[in-house]
Amino acid sequence: MATLLLSVLILAGCQGPGWLPPAGTMNQQQSNAVIHDPFPLDDLGPTDLASRPPSYQQSLPEPVRNRIAKDAMPWLGIQGP
């Protein structure tokens, strides 16, 4: 019983690799943040520049936002208007 308790206590401190993959390089993370912009869009509502970080003051224009899925995944066959 003591051996089992000791082995559980010893192994409890050992952490294996995480369940999630690494987030990627800095450039991959920045590209992902540009595509999945969590901040409010200026053309859909009032401008609130205080909510965006300084690096992301300008959101992508609407024509560019509309082309992201078409250009990133051409095998889906998404047709434009």
Give the pLDDT of the chain (81 residues) as one tens digit per residue: 888 877 777 776 666 677 888 888 988 888 887 777 777 777 777 777 677 777 777 777 888 888 887 777 777 776 655
pLDDT of residue 2: 81
Residue 33 burial by Cβ neighbours in a 10 Å radius (0-12, 13-18, 19+): middle
Domain that holds residue 63: 1-73
Q: How many domains does the chain have?
A: 1
- For residue 13, tell me if it sits in a domain: yes
Q: Is the dihedral of CA 27, 32, 33, 35 positive or negative?
A: positive
- For residue 79, tell me if it sits in a domain: no
DSSP code per residue over 14-64: -----SSPP---HHHHHHHHHHT--SPPTTTS---GGGS-GGGSSPPPHHH
- For residue 6, tell me if it sits in a domain: yes
- For residue 78, tell me if it sits in a domain: no
